[in-house]
Structure 1
Amino acid sequence: MQVHILASGSTGNVAYFKFGNTRLLVDAGISARRIETKLALIGVKAGDIDGVLITHEHVDHIKGLDVFIRRYHLPVFARAATWEAIPCRHKLPPECCITIEDQFQIGGVEAEAHNISHDAVDPVGFSFHYRRKKWVIATDMGIITENVLKALAGADLVVLESNHDRDMLKNGPYPRFLKQRIAGRYGHLSNHDAAAVLARISRKEQMQVFLAHLSQENNHPDLALKTVSDSLLKQGCQPGEDIKLHLTYPDTTMSFTG
């Protein structure tokens, strides 16, 4: 099992997961050429992908979808309302556009879509079950709902949003309406929110956690890592032991094999 976070942040999001012989992309928020290049750097041919899963229709999650799918004719999995909101939907081969419910299967992987709180038509995160392991991706959330807590519980690996530092957002250059949107219930989780979630959920002996979707304007990787680590310590968790934290970046691939 492998995960490679190819790009993460407001400029684009793509994650590659490998479960045995099943290869999946979650989102396609950078150009098709960049996706191809980044996959090649980890030894993967774009045409060998078994499916692309879309969390929601915002451009930083679907920027490269049109070209990438028409070039490689890959199956794409998304909610019905999300398909209606994706601008390039009419350009894609109909047989590539697959509508999902809560549970579905791709190759040897059991996948679940869980609803999240974000300002999109029907946004979701995904849980993947393979050989008694559970890996979850959950970003672009303003709040943590009970179904998200359920999805995260007992996970071996989580890609979790840690979008902004509260003080940086409050004192930063964004207009007031945008600050309110980011900090609101349909916006994004802060570093403190991410730590609070991790402290609440039931865990196995060690959980691998990628802090994802970090804002380039309202956060910094070192700050996110320190804030989450310090908060976890105060709540009785041991970063590096109970929870192993990994950072993500807009342009640098971050990986884990387990």
Structure 2
Amino acid sequence: MSLYIASLNSGSNGNCYYVGNGQEAILVDAGISCRETERRMARIGLSMQTVKAIFVSHEHTDHISGIPVLAKKYQLPVYITDATLYNGNIDIKKEQVVAFKPYEPVQIGGLAIQAFPKFHDAAEPHSFIVNGNNVNIGIFTDIGSPCDHLALHFKHCHAAFLEANYDEEMLETGNYPRHLKNRIRGGHGHLSNKQALEVFTKHRPSYMSHLFLAHLSRDNNSPQLVKQLFNEHAGNTQIIVASRFEETAVYQVTAEQTTDSISLPKKENSPSRIKQSYTQLRLW
């Protein structure tokens, strides 16, 4: 039994991730246009007709800009928190808005989607675990720092999208102003290559078959650099760099081992609802 996954785009110019079981699918975020989403899916043999819902991680424009047209054209429910909807000012019909809560799975056909909070420069950001056919897929991007939730969920994943946004030396010596550098690496921005690699090496289960390196910075990272770094530690896990310019191939992920459902308590060093009001952190 399998799930099928692909990145349609990954980066500060737009993010959209596909997870499906052959009959139904979801998109996590929709930050590229409806037309471009359709084109990219068609090129890799996917159809929007199988997509049954959009799940929204947070309100930054590179994650939501395609939602209004996609949701209207295909009459899709949009699973989103109240704070994300309010701060994103997304133009969708009220009847298409479905609120979700962290730790409470949402069933979409044969897929179960569970959200959990993360650290990021947004109103109410969440990561997701998608389960189907005994396969767990993690979508872990736009994370300021690793937390207990990330570590514990990562340990159950057969495949994952994991942010590796910046190389620390490239960021430090680059042209960004100091205040922006500090925001990126300040705990509510993005994961560095080093932080992502530590998550991978410390918490990867033996059965993880695919790892997508996601949300790479245009100016502060290199696809070749980060892939080489992870390949040195990959073992049997295939490393794929999710591009900011094009879709990846579709990858079939099969459960070699049945994992238990995940039920996590809130912990002091894990994010809960973030009450601060943030401005958008846009990282090129």
CA distance, structure 2, for counterparts of residue 206 and residue 71 of structure 1: 36
CA distance, structure 1, for counterparts of residue 138 and residue 210 of structure 2: 10
Deviation (angstroms), 1:129: 1.2
Deviation (angstroms), 1:30: 1.0
Equivalent of 2:242 in 248, 251, 254: 248
Q: Residue in 2 aligned with 1:189? A: 191
Name the structure where helix makes up a greater proportion of residues. Answer: 1
Q: Residue in 1 aligned with 2:39? A: 37
Q: 1:224 to 1:81 in 2, by over 3 A?
A: same
3-state DSSP of counterpart to 2:198? helix
Please tell me whether the aligned partners of residues 128 and 138 of structure 2 are also in contact (alpha carbons under 8 angstroms).
yes
Please tell me whether the aligned partners of residues 140 and 162 of structure 2 are also in contact (alpha carbons under 8 angstroms).
yes
For residues 64-111 of structure 1, the C-alpha deviation after alignment (integer angstroms, 9 at most, x for no partner) is: 1112212222111112211221212xx312111110012211111111
3-state DSSP of counterpart to 2:62? helix
TM-score normalised by L of structure 1: 0.92
Q: RCO higher in 1 or 2 (8 Å CA, sep ≥ 6)?
A: 2
Q: 1:47 to 1:207 in 2, by over 3 A?
A: closer
CA distance, structure 2, for counterparts of residue 22 and residue 204 of structure 1: 28
3-state DSSP of counterpart to 1:50? strand
Q: Residue in 1 aligned with 2:205? A: 203
* Unaligned 5+ runs, structure 1: 233-238
Letter in 1 for 2:98: I
Residue pairs, 1:3-82, within 5 angstroms = 3-82=5-84
CA distance, structure 1, for counterparts of residue 145 and residue 208 of structure 2: 24
Q: 1:148 to 1:71 in 2, by over 3 A?
A: same
CA distance, structure 1, for counterparts of residue 230 and residue 167 of structure 2: 10
Q: Residue in 1 aligned with 2:262? A: none
CA distance, structure 1, for counterparts of residue 49 and residue 130 of structure 2: 21
Please tell me whether the aligned partners of residues 28 and 55 of structure 2 are also in contact (alpha carbons under 8 angstroms).
yes
Letter in 2 for 1:67: V
Please tell me whether the aligned partners of residues 3 and 257 of structure 1 are also in contact (alpha carbons under 8 angstroms).
yes
Deviation (angstroms), 1:154: 2.1
Percent identity, please: 33
3-state DSSP of counterpart to 1:44? coil
Please tell me whether the aligned partners of residues 55 and 78 of structure 1 are also in contact (alpha carbons under 8 angstroms).
yes
45-54 vs 156-165, which deviates more? 45-54
Quote the RMSD (CA, aligned, Å): 1.4
* Unaligned 5+ runs, structure 2: 254-284
